[in-house]
Chain A
């Protein structure tokens, strides 16, 4: 980095997703970890209304709790999708200011060098915001449009990874539109799918995260109920066989040079009855509850010493492969499930902007990244990716339009 000048880092978070609040927590946390010597940190909050704001009150938790009064202390901003815009457009302002904008077409901008994304869920994690940032030619620290969109479609993501030799559970998508017209044919086609002939089945929304709307079905009636529940939140449901004895294993991958995988974690709180079969676990690992909030506060076992090393290796190599196949960038978390009945490991899902950006894994990894270092890595790799995109040859013209 050129000595002297600080980079302007806009932290973009909140948004119109059910996981809005988790995103705020992730953002507040990471803003504390960003190095103030290297960076000038600009919080850019997308309120549930979809409007964008910036201002110093956004560093305070209270601002979000007392939104009605806090909002007045903030500056409304927006992002114009114009290449080279260089920053955020300041909206509103005094009458005089608005009049002069009207006359001259010029407006105030807040300069931004890199957008650091801290979204969870719809619009922020699924390629939407990424599309806007691509159009304005900004560097940003997350998966790109394609990999984000694939990650947010569980069925699509699994299909692609299965084609590249990564093990996934059989699955079938059920659409709300079809179910409304003919529920019987929808359930029939689910039960005729190879691997889904027998109950219990597991039903979840195809797009949403945070375990919203998930259910287990033991028979046709509960399958109907589960589908109805999913269709409250999503237009598509994904149906899989239910693994009755399993544990989850997660691992984070970061695009540094080279791409690295973190230590693995076994989240304990996510599935109440987590059973470690004796054949996979030798003795008990140490239990640790992290002090921070957000994803980092889940009860989890990080790099459990007792976990079979072949399981760790299998998860890590699948994650690195999936990262490459899907063209991910930034930091992501892959979630796997270990079937205790036969020892199979299935890819379950990909979180393109994981809670707390998985820093609690990187700080235990080798080489270790402090959260501040992880954010440095993300910012550098976003800049590198942008300059690669900018170096493409692009001849534009009107040759065909004679």
Chain B
């Protein structure tokens, strides 16, 4: 698996500061996070990555789950001689960030999550019922297709009930199915790294409610709510606002450590 190529853009020449790794969301690419990366790179070395399966990175040989993604990122750190890093993940990149924080806590200094996934959303009774019915329906249709050699699932069901992401997922359908429903709530209380959570209050893809629960579950988390912002509160000029909060968060405790290091 580790042979899957990772494309990245490396910015900034900030000597021995802990680098920041930026991980984008589902069906997006590193270009999403470049403006923010450029602003952060004034103070830190920054690696903006294309996740495998997206942008100019290679396609995984099999359908990965988020743990496999996390392992591949660890491999990237090794390949680039990065002993310790800060991680920033948006949406799907947040899922991977959370996994990494558990998988290799000794290598992760701080984490930043923007409109991150990783918890299953709270649903109303009606929404839950509908989703249950759709999942059952899919299973039944697949039986029928297998039995009668029809293509109902592909040609009738999917265009109607498959999500936008599912329809667009192409070769990554397996990964999407594995990751989209996962819930890391049992893992979050064990995360030791300090976390900054940035959330648009109007986020429809990862509702604010999820951010609040996440901030509650991660022991050293702080939530920054950005009013009037949606799922991507770091594009264009918003990158300035994010950097304005991220840089002091990363700098916290640095003076103490440097002083100890020198003494």
Does B244 lie within 8 Å of A32, measured CB to CB?
A: no
Does A32 lie within 8 Å of B238, measured CB to CB?
A: yes
Does B240 lie within 8 Å of A363, measured CB to CB?
A: yes
A28-61 interface mask toward B, CB cutoff 8 Å, 1 = contact, 0 = none?
A: 0111111111000100000000000000100100
Of all chain B residues, which has the CB nearest A366? B42
Residues of A near B77 (CB, < 8 A) are: none
**A287 sits at the interface (CB 8 A):** no
**A97 sits at the interface (CB 8 A):** no
Q: In the complex, A76→B35 CA distance in Å? A: 37
Does B224 lie within 8 Å of A32, measured CB to CB?
A: no
Of all chain B residues, which has the CB nearest A292? B236
Does B237 lie within 8 Å of A36, measured CB to CB?
A: no
Q: In the complex, A75→B229 CA distance in Å? A: 22
Of all chain A residues, which has the CB nearest B39? A370
**B159 sits at the interface (CB 8 A):** no
Interface range for A = 20 to 34
A344-362 interface mask toward B, CB cutoff 8 Å, 1 = contact, 0 = none?
A: 0000000000000001000
- Selected contact of B237 from candidates A32, A35, A59, CB within 8 Å: A32
**B67 sits at the interface (CB 8 A):** no
Residues of B near A368 (CB, < 8 A) are: 42
Of all chain A residues, which has the CB nearest B247? A370
Does B237 lie within 8 Å of A33, measured CB to CB?
A: yes
Does B241 lie within 8 Å of A59, measured CB to CB?
A: no
How near does chain B come to A42, taking the closest CB pair, in angstroms? Answer: 12
**B227 sits at the interface (CB 8 A):** yes
Does B237 lie within 8 Å of A371, measured CB to CB?
A: yes
Residues of A near B35 (CB, < 8 A) are: 291
How near does chain A come to B203, taking the closest CB pair, in angstroms? Answer: 14
**B180 sits at the interface (CB 8 A):** no
How near does chain B come to A297, taking the closest CB pair, in angstroms? Answer: 10
Most chain A beta-carbon neighbours within 10 Å: one of B229, B236, B240, B243 = B240
How near does chain B come to A135, taking the closest CB pair, in angstroms? Answer: 31
Residues of B near A275 (CB, < 8 A) are: none
Known: A36-B227, A56-B228. A372 touches B244 (CB 8 A): yes
How near does chain B come to A55, taking the closest CB pair, in angstroms? Answer: 12
Does A292 lie within 8 Å of B237, measured CB to CB?
A: yes
A69-104 interface mask toward B, CB cutoff 8 Å, 1 = contact, 0 = none?
A: 000000000000000000000000000000000000
Residues of A near B244 (CB, < 8 A) are: 35, 370, 372-373
How near does chain A come to B232, taking the closest CB pair, in angstroms? Answer: 12
Does A33 lie within 8 Å of B241, measured CB to CB?
A: yes
Residues of B near A35 (CB, < 8 A) are: 241, 244-245
**B56 sits at the interface (CB 8 A):** no
Q: In the complex, A293→B238 CA distance in Å? A: 13
Residues of B near A371 (CB, < 8 A) are: 237, 240-241
Q: In the complex, A56→B237 CA distance in Å? A: 19
Q: In the complex, A334→B35 CA distance in Å? A: 27
**B141 sits at the interface (CB 8 A):** no
Q: In the complex, A292→B238 CA distance in Å? A: 10
- Selected contact of B238 from candidates A33, A59, A296, CB within 8 Å: A33
Of all chain B residues, which has the CB nearest A40? B227
**Interface members, chain B 212-263 (any A CB < 8 Å):** 224-229, 236-238, 240-241, 243-245
B78-111 interface mask toward A, CB cutoff 8 Å, 1 = contact, 0 = none?
A: 0000000000000000000000000000000000
Residues of B near A33 (CB, < 8 A) are: 237-238, 240-241
Residues of B near A36 (CB, < 8 A) are: 225-227
Does B228 lie within 8 Å of A359, measured CB to CB?
A: no
Q: In the complex, A59→B217 CA distance in Å? A: 32
Of all chain B residues, which has the CB nearest A356? B237
- Selected contact of A370 from candidates B225, B229, B243, CB within 8 Å: B243
Of all chain B residues, which has the CB nearest A30? B237
How near does chain B come to A69, taking the closest CB pair, in angstroms? Answer: 19
Of all chain B residues, which has the CB nearest A43? B228
Residues of A near B227 (CB, < 8 A) are: 36, 41
Residues of A near B236 (CB, < 8 A) are: 29, 32, 291-293
Q: In the complex, A173→B228 CA distance in Å? A: 47
Residues of A near B240 (CB, < 8 A) are: 33, 359, 363, 370-372
Q: In the complex, A9→B37 CA distance in Å? A: 29
Most chain B beta-carbon neighbours within 10 Å: one of A35, A293, A363, A370 = A370
Q: In the complex, A370→B39 CA distance in Å? A: 8
Residues of B near A32 (CB, < 8 A) are: 228-229, 236-238, 241
How near does chain B come to A323, taking the closest CB pair, in angstroms? Answer: 24
Residues of A near B226 (CB, < 8 A) are: 36
How near does chain B come to A23, taking the closest CB pair, in angstroms? Answer: 16
How near does chain B come to A61, taking the closest CB pair, in angstroms? Answer: 12
Known: A32-B236, A36-B227, A292-B236. A372 touches B241 (CB 8 A): yes
Residues of B near A56 (CB, < 8 A) are: 228
How near does chain B come to A361, taking the closest CB pair, in angstroms? Answer: 13
How near does chain B come to A328, taking the closest CB pair, in angstroms? Answer: 24
Residues of A near B39 (CB, < 8 A) are: 363, 370
A selection of 11 A-B contacts at a CB cut-off of 8 Å is A33-B237, A33-B238, A35-B241, A36-B225, A37-B224, A359-B237, A368-B42, A370-B240, A370-B244, A371-B240, A372-B244
Closest 3 CB pairs of A and B: A372-B244, A371-B240, A370-B240
Residue positions of A touching B, CB distance < 8 A: 29-37, 41, 56, 59, 291-293, 296, 359, 363, 368, 370-373
Residue positions of B touching A, CB distance < 8 A: 35, 39, 42, 224-229, 236-238, 240-241, 243-245
Known: A36-B226, A373-B244. 18 other contacts (CB 8 A): A32-B228, A32-B229, A32-B236, A32-B237, A33-B238, A33-B240, A35-B244, A35-B245, A36-B225, A36-B227, A37-B224, A291-B236, A293-B236, A368-B42, A370-B243, A370-B244, A372-B240, A372-B243
